[in-house]
Amino acid sequence: MAVKVLVVDDSSFFRRRVSEILNADPRLEVVGNAVNGKEAVEMAGRMQPDVITMDIEMPVMDGITAVREIMQANPTPILMFSSLTHEGAKATLDALDAGALDFLPKKFEDIARNRDEAVSLLQKRVTELARKRVFMRRPARTATTLRDASRDNSPEPVRPLSAARSAVGSQSLSTSNLKSANPVSALRQPAARPTAAKPAARFKPSGKKYQLMAIGTSTGGPVALQKILTALPANFPLPIVLIQHMPATFTAAFAARLNNLCKIGVKEAQDGDVLKPGMAYLAPGGMQMMLDGRPGSVRLRIIDGGDRMNYKPCVDVTFGSAAKVYHDKVLSMVLTGMGADGREGARMLKNSGATIWAQDEDSCVVYGMPQAVAKAGISSEDLPLERIAERISVELGLA
């Protein structure tokens, strides 16, 4: 059965162009077009699409407001189209904060090196995002089922970035949307007795000593990074390097946003930066970030890296250089993202004795990068996003 897509944009040319690309893939079917956010909200409720592509600037109701209303009424995977400008970056991050799952540049020539590659990427992104629909539309669960879910790693419903700040260490419980599959038969059943709540499994520290934390991610990464980093204390004992697949014009705005939200410091990395504890360095888009020196005196090298690399920044590049400098003293994570970037770098880290964790499938927007690491037997633990910050605290003796 084809993935149903709603295309939202005030430009008839862009709606037609996107619709043609998506309909050319037999896995996808454009079921409707909306010219503004207000129409999108109404059509999302009526058509129940699997994925929505959304423009940001539109008349009547802008895309960010529309995302917020759709996520409240009919949670649906949303792919934003944005301009590669500083203002476009800020607006796109606001859309992710409202609940959108991913974004792509609106100019297709900015997506990839040629048209065929851009078309394939758009089709693949929409197909991958459709897989999250079933999780986003699960009914709310009771306290008992939430605790039970922690035993089998069932995912929490996808929440916007704004919810991430209070999500770690707490659960928002609601039964207002809880529905029985068969209301009539449910009424005939005796009331179930409450079962004893069982706490989530407790983590144990490995006893290893670390000098660096490294995190690589792509699709869904802005949400995941914010959720983890906002939970870290101001006295976090390690420097952190972050590799997020993101356009060059976006990384400065993303780093600034994280810096405003986090207790630790966050900045876009610059060539020559000296790594300091309690500071996170985000690899600049369009460049490669490498580590140089020895523990206690490590600097960042920001280089172009040439056109041979598929990713700029590339997780493999940064992880590989971290392995050469810090050897077994690295705590590293591969989070949600499409593709397999990070696998070879993580392999180098593991061969040096470092620790590698992967985000689990249920909590990923796209289970590509973590899956590549897990399938290769490189990661020692697969963790749900909502517990990664807790796991870090236990491992470093902060809890």
Q: Are 229 and 266 in contact (CB under 8 A)?
A: yes
Query: Residue 131 burial by CB count (10 A; 0-12/13-18/19+): exposed, middle or buried?
Result: middle
Tokens of 159: 């929440």
Which one of 10, 62, 94, 341 is the catalytic residue?
A: 341
User: What's the CA gap between 79 and 231, in Å, rounded?
Assistant: 27
Amino acid (1-letter code) at residue 226: Q
Q: Which helix (H) or strand (E) holds 257?
A: helix 248-261
Which one of 25, 55, 245, 273 is the catalytic residue?
A: 245
Amino acid (1-letter code) at residue 247: P
User: What's the CA gap between 10 and 61, in Å, rounded?
Assistant: 11
Q: Are 283 and 341 in contact (CB under 8 A)?
A: no
User: What's the CA gap between 168 and 166, in Å, rounded?
Assistant: 6
Which one of 218, 321, 332, 363 is the catalytic residue?
A: 218
CB within 8 Å of 329: residues ≥ 6 apart? 209, 210, 211, 212, 295, 354
From the CB of residue 65, how many other CB atoms can be counted at a distance below 10 Å? 17
Give the CA angle between residues 286, 359, 397 to the nearest 5°: 100
Say whether 245 is catalytic: yes
User: What's the CA gap between 160 and 224, in Å, rounded?
Assistant: 10
Say whether 86 is catalytic: no
Q: Which residue numbers are catalytic?
A: 218, 245, 341
